[in-house]
Amino acid sequence: MSLPIKSLAAAAALLLSAAPALADITIGISLPMTGPASGLGIPMANQFKLWPTSIAGEKLNVILLDDATDPTKGVQNARRFVTDDKVDIIIGSAATPVGIAMADVAAEAQTVQLAATPMGLPPGKDAWTFRLPQGNDVMAFAVVNLMKKQGVKTIGFLGYTDAYGEQWLKALTPEAEKNGIKIIAAERFARTDTSVTAQALKLTAANPDAMLIVASGSGAAMPEKAIVERGYKGKIYQTHAAATKDLMRIGGKDVEGTFVVSGPAVVGDLLPDSHPSKKLAMAFVAQYDKAYGAGTHNQFAGHAFDALIVMEKIIPVALKKAKPGSKEFRAALKDAMETMGRTNFSHGIMNWTKDDHWGYTMETGVMLVVKNGDWALAN
């Protein structure tokens, strides 16, 4: 028996209301909200929760998953995003090994990945991957520049055994050598290690002018404390993955005087008015601290703030070419990112191109120093 016209209309309306709108934009985000890199992922997740519900008049669906600082879990999340959720763009991870593992899925699905880690990929493998953080080459330039000004001639290196540690050593070595600085000792440790006593003893015995510790979030304090407790009196440097208040909270007096390279996002109030990122950096800090408490912001939350700047610039461009949820729309997003031109971020000036998915200039890194338990400009 056929249904009355009114009943058919009602059934159709019910089906339409249950399905997502054709123009909904879906973003899949995978972050380490547990595990060793949770100090990076949680602040980013907090900032993503402050995003608007629509962009360019279209509804924004954000799917946020925990990858637990585990590459296998990150790949599972990425595969869910592209197969089940049909996302238009992937963001994550904030842990380098996880982000690298996710990149293969993004490339296979021809879906843009906005990585929240300065991860290196083999040539030709990053066609669909763009980085939100500054590259290690850019940050190593800032670190070595300050070392040279301070008269450092020898360095001890203590870094993760994973890709983040390897990439930093690869970036640091030629930049240091070019400036007459030599790495005289290098030791490694795993993210899950709870002690680096043996490594600290070897490094302090070498007695370099400065130490560079390559670690992230709350995990960056432990190796520095070990070095200090072994009696090391030279200068200590940390990378941009350590530019969080967790370093001071856990390290206490042992990290006082530490030099840390960072993007400008966390120190907008210290920047000169002429700095192109000052206003955005201060807007980010004001928004985050209002939502989560004074002084709780960190540079990884700043990357999530900058990701919204990207979305608001590229989505209107891509919408002119295709509808969300389609292969054509994903390709249009990639094209829009490669042609969006110089764009102010809270973390510096971004200028992605077809041939450069890193984008930041060498002037991006800001050298900070821990002073009285807070940040100050190193120079």
Domain boundaries, the chain: 7-134+297-350, 136-262
CATH architecture of 136-262: 3-Layer(aba) Sandwich (3.40)
Strands 112-115 and 343-345, by their bridges, are unpaired
Q: Which residues of 29-53 are buried (b: 16+ CB within 10 A; e: fewer)?
A: bbbbbebbbbbbbbbbbbbbebbee
pLDDT tens for 158-190 read 999 998 999 999 999 999 999 999 999 999 999
Same CATH fold assignment for domains 7-134+297-350 and 136-262: yes
- Beta carbons of 90 and 112 less than 8 angstroms apart: yes
d(CA 366, CA 142): 7
Q: How confident is the model at residue 23 (pLDDT cuts 50, 70, 90)?
A: low
Question: Residue 214 pLDDT more than 70?
Answer: yes
Name the one residue in this structure whose structure tokens are 């330039």: 141
Q: At the fourth CATH level, which superfamily is domain 7-134+297-350?
A: Response regulator (3.40.50.2300)
Q: How confident is the model at residue 361 (pLDDT cuts 50, 70, 90)?
A: confident
What does the mean pLDDT of the chain come to? 92
d(CA 360, CA 164): 18
Question: Residue 3 pLDDT more than 90?
Answer: no
Its sign, for the CA torsion 20, 22, 23, 29, is positive
Q: What pLDDT does 53 receive? A: 96
Q: What pLDDT does 106 receive? A: 98
pLDDT tens for 319-331 read 999 999 999 999 9
Q: Which range has the worst mean pLDDT, 85-89, 93-97, 194-198, 217-221?
A: 217-221
